[in-house]
Structure 1
Amino acid sequence: MHDIRQIRENPAAFDAGLARRGVAPVSASLVALDEQRRAVATRMQEGQNRRNEASKAIGKAMGSGDTATAEALKAEVATLKDTLPALEAEEKELSAQLLDALAGLPNIPVDEVPDGEDESQNVEVTRWGAPREFTFTPKEHADLGPVLGLDFETGAKLSGARFTFLKGQMARLHRALAQFMLDTQTATNGYMECAVPLLVKDDAVYGTGQLPKFSEDLFRTTDGRWLIPTAEVSLTNAVSGDILDPAQLPLRMTALTPCFRSEAGAAGRDTRGFIRQHQFEKVELVTIAKPEESEAEHERMVAAAESILQALELPYRKVLLCAGDMGATARKTFDLEVWLPGQQAYREISSISNCGDYQARRMNARYKPEGSKKTEFVHTLNGSGLAVGRTLVAVLENYQQEDGSVLVPDALKPWMGGIEKLEVPA
């Protein structure tokens, strides 16, 4: 959400920021709508003030015996009582139009975000680890996994496309990855573990920016609740409507949850395999911070996600997204892309964003700086630490052996109950 006051003060800068997102100039229409709303609000306030003044004057006129004046004042008050509700309704409607217009616009990228329209113009920042050299042609996980318990057929039979049924040692590896990630983010990286609702109300998905524009990417229940697309929704909205004590900040939270996405905007992409599912698990990281802390917290969150990949010894690269490839709520985003030898490509495994005060304005989440009488909006940050299914894919492809087995990474062995290798059943 954007601050209309800032748009009024510098409309050219606002339009220039949106232009980097491919959005046409809108400041003039927003300012005009706001001026119309403010004019109606002024008329309404003046009418209310005059009604109160006239009501008091009636008593004085009656007390002095000035019946004519009293009757004239009564007529004026009656007229105001008739006109004020219409002004109130008009002001409410104009406010709703302005709110809807502002809510539909993406966040403004910060200066260091590169210009660009799509992922081809993202900028690689660093690489970690060297891709393994295989003495055989490595397989993609979709070819390697089925005999090890990655059952696409049963998932499709039960639920349709983009669902998978994990069995035996594969299910154990998936669980081990999730627990390893969660334990690392809490015990090592200092995030507070949370267990959160998977079903949320309209206000929650509006607060983090999925509504109103991206409802087609969500699943909705028959009673009007939404299945969370990520624990970002539940964790970030935990502070909605709150005025936080600055001593609470930064507030770092994490949760391991199932995530549900209709993937309406991804038709035809990654239909094969375990990369893009309607249901998947993810360890989400969320930080609520003071504005002056958010950049450092962004780097800290990226490092927390990187620590999982490094512990698993999975080669990856860190990429700064261009303006046209960022999510709507972000002002700056780093992606971590893991190397998949079966595909001979780096693929996204984590996206870590600093949203500034964009979500906080939608949620009305604030804090009161020390020594100040006024509140300020907090900054919100979120990222994957990591997506469990995509990490499973990376482990399968990077640790595969020529005989079709898959070695368990050393970091995961404490969570695998003695299993050191996923083996093809005899």
Structure 2
Amino acid sequence: MASTPTSHSATTPVRAAIASFVGGMLEYYDFFVYGTAAALVLNKLFFTGLSPALGTVAAFATFAVGYVVRPLGGIVFGHVADRIGRKRSLVATLLVMGVSTVLIGVLPTYSAIGAAAPMLLLALRLVQGFGLGGELGVASVFAVEHAPPGRRGFFGAFAYSGPFAGLVLSTGVFGLLSLMPAESFASWGWRIPFLFSIVVVAVALVVRLGVPEPEVFRKTDDAGAKPRVPVVEALRGHSKDVIAVALISAAPNTIFYIVTVFSLSYATTAHGVPQTTMLGVVTLAAVFLFTATPLWGGLSDRIGRKKPIIYGTIAEGILLFVFFLGLETSNTLVIFGVSVLVLGLGHAVVNGVVPAFFCELFPTHIRASAVSLGQQLGGVFGGFAPLVAASLIGANWGGWLPLAGYGVVLCALGVSATFVALRRWDRSVVAAPTVTAVQG
């Protein structure tokens, strides 16, 4: 069936980038709010009776569970994006995330309803993860497909920059609330960031509804070239590329959550750094991260995707050691400096480039399904990073060294996967049958 003609203008790529950025910011705000709360307060409110260490592990376990269903969300919402439309998929993910986050904000704690509290918390985390699974992949496809020739790296990077802005927003809100009396924060203050989602979801909906479908998708729709089940075709004909996307995504996701989520509790308990200090450090480092990401994406339009991805991944592995050494100083300026290094010179480099790189690996008619599935499979590593970190350090197997080694192994896999993917990426993007190819 032919799609309804949609008005496009010279400003459409900019509006698409903004829609990807704002939507990603607000959806990941919801997700990071939970991660921050898990590090600061949920272990005490929903896992009463456990030791502080076990309570932290349990809270991070519910954080990780949200990632288990993200590949499923990537499949479902990627299917919607390839079969029905990118925009409809992005609106749906926004609503799923918003509703589940607000419900967490009104959830009774263990002291009120007993064991039902952590069970309900777990269920809502599953819904959150399902919704978020379809966000990043489809948003990056949406931005890249709208981008003008030769600017895919720059415009696509805004989809990945949005989540970092969401981190700034969530940690900033928690930073302000942490100034409350501890009793008030533990009683009701922690709910405010979750309830604030009502406002931010409304803003994101308005922005996303105002942008049309990408022209290249409408051509695929008009040509009737859409497969019945896009993810099956993606796995049948592009399985190596899907796996490569997953492995390339694994290291950045893991190191990012170690630095921004796990370190909030680790720096406080192991090195006596105040929670407000760590929240401030993470917030300021994330500001640098979300502003640097599009710059690296734009640079890749000039120098290519290969070097930034490979060198950025290697830098992340090395700088993770520097980060933990910085934490041991308990010095605020040093911790801020090492956080900026690992996020700005490692993470931002990779994440500024991979949105365009991933989209250029797949034809239009399966692009959203393939990119979403690969990204979310890689994201599972990141979701379990705080849990793995807490378990490794809690086991006293040499402090943080095994954790840093884990990050290095993932970086090595990511570099290897990049070389594998480059062999297919060099051929340029193949479009759906009878549809004009998207130039790589």
Global fold match (TM > 0.5):
no
* Larger strand percent: 1
TM-score, with structure 1 as normaliser: 0.26
How high is the TM-score relative to the length of structure 2?
0.25
**Higher fraction of helix:** 2
- Considering Cα pairs closer than 8 Å and 6+ residues apart, tell me whether 1 or 2 has the greater RCO: 2
Which is higher, the Rg of structure 1 or of structure 2? 1
